[in-house]
Amino acid sequence: MKEQISDKGVLIGHGFFYDQMPVGLRFHTMGRTVTEADLVTFVNLFWVHEDNFVNAENKAHRAIRGRFVPGAMVYCMAEGLLVPTMQFTGLAFLGTTLDHKAPTLVGDTIHVEGEVIQSRPASKGNRGLVRTRNRVMNQRGELVLLYEPLRLMRGSGAKGG
């Protein structure tokens, strides 16, 4: 990562520039435990008032045991965990594939394991296109979500970048 140095020192939390993300670069995030408060906040904010998410008692008919959360919530949390990789350098989210592999339950701790699978200069300007393969894992090492976003990222401005 390019160091952002000022009279205050090195800026902590600055994201990668596209030219610092070669194909094959691997990274991982810190973990984040999914709480009941997260579930309640998400379903109320986005009106996901499906019985599975708002009724803790009516469990007999459910195929999934436990207090599971919407897949969209897992995706949003994963993106939040990845913010440090693109802080100040991410320009646009251009699309993604999305494949939910297993349920995530209240109490699970998730983290993201990423790998750059495409990186190239954009057609103009000091910027590039970066696609990563993001694997959202739980504390048991189970893959719960796989997605491959394509992002437009700033370049470092360094020679060749």
Specify the pTM: 0.87
- Is residue 50 assigned to a domain? yes
- Is residue 58 assigned to a domain? yes
CATH number, position 30: 3.10.129.10
**High-pLDDT (> 90) share of the chain, %:** 71
Range(s) of the domain holding residue 37: 5-154
- Is residue 161 assigned to a domain? no
Domain count, the chain: 1
SS3 for the chain, per residue? CCCCEECCEECCCCCCCHHHCCCCCEEECCCEECCHHHHHHHHHHCCCCCHHHHCCCCCCCCCCCCCECCHHHHHHHHHHHHHHHHCCCEEEEEECCEEECCCCECCCEEEEEEEEEEEEECCCCCEEEEEEEEEEECCCCCEEEEECCEEEEECCCCCCC
- Is residue 160 assigned to a domain? no
pLDDT tens digits for range 36-74: 999 999 998 888 877 667 767 766 776 677 788 999 999
- Is residue 116 assigned to a domain? yes
pLDDT tens digits for range 101-140: 999 999 999 999 999 999 999 999 999 999 999 999 999 9
- Is residue 59 assigned to a domain? yes
- Is residue 36 assigned to a domain? yes
